[in-house]
């Protein structure tokens, strides 16, 4: 697939995933949390990277709160230049957050930097093989490439079941997810 064709195919998949997400109920994050805790919980002591939902993204915060209650350190991504790896900073519920690029919410620069071993990754679209379409800036692909070069990490995509596609275009630098969780359950890639 040519680069232009790949970009166009990803753009179309992103549009379909965003449209599907608009019909989703962000409160479905409660069901998502139950599925992870029952069938795909991180190992004890894992540093868990969550995210603060944007718009109508499925809400991972119920899961993050439950994992913090189980003793998992939580981190949130801090966004840098487009296509660069994310930096993860320590987060506890109640900590102040600052507004980052694209309207993200992130810890301030004084929060401790930690490398996660279990990542909750927002999806715009996904397929059963673990291919993920995000917002298109390449942050999670760059981040997973760096983290996976250092040690084993688990990348768990979080989205609505309606965001699943039969197949998605994949490029040479795209990082696959290990599993995807939706309000309907966990799909292992």
**Domains, the chain:** 3-188 (3.40.50.10420)
Q: Is 186 exposed, middle or buried (0-12, 13-18, 19+ CB in 10 A)?
A: middle
User: What is residue 165's predicted lDDT score, i.e. its pLDDT?
Assistant: 96
Helix (H, G, I), strand (E, B) or coil at 99: strand
| Cβ neighbours around 20 below 10 Å, total | 18
Least reliable range by pLDDT among 25-29, 46-50, 65-69: 25-29
Where residue 139 falls among pLDDT bands split at 50, 70, 90?
very high
Q: Which residues contact 54 (CB under 8 A, 6 or more apart)?
A: 102, 103, 104, 122
pLDDT in tens, 104-121: 899 999 999 999 999 999
pTM of the model: 0.95
Instruction: Say how far apart CA 161 and CA 165 lie, in whole Å.
Output: 9
Q: 6: closest CA among 158, 120, 131, 162? A: 131
Contact call for residues 171 and 28 (beta carbons, < 8 A): no
User: What is residue 104's predicted lDDT score, i.e. its pLDDT?
Assistant: 87
Instruction: Say how far apart CA 143 and CA 49 lie, in whole Å.
Output: 12
């Amino acid at each position: 697939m040519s680069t232009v064709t790949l970009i166009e195919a990803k753009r179309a998949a992103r549009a379909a995933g965003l449209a599907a997400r608009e019909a989703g109920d962000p409160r479905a994050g409660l069901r998502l949390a139950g599925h992870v805790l029952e069938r795909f919980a991180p190992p004890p002591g894992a540093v868990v990277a969550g995210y603060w939902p944007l718009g109508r993204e499925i809400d991972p915060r119920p899961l993050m709160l439950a994992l913090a209650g189980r003793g998992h350190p939580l981190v949130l991504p801090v966004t840098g230049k487009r296509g660069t790896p994310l930096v993860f900073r320590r987060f506890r519920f109640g900590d102040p957050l600052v507004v980052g690029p694209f309207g993200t919410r992130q810890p301030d620069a004084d929060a401790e930097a930690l490398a996660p071993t279990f990542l909750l990754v927002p999806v715009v679209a996904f397929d059963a093989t673990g291919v993920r379409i995000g917002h298109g800036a390449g942050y999670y692909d760059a981040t997973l490439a760096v983290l996976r070069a250092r040690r084993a990490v688990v990348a768990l995509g979080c989205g609505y079941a309606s965001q699943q596609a039969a197949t998605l275009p994949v490029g040479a630098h795209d990082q696959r997810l290990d599993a995807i969780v939706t309000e309907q359950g966990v799909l292992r890639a």
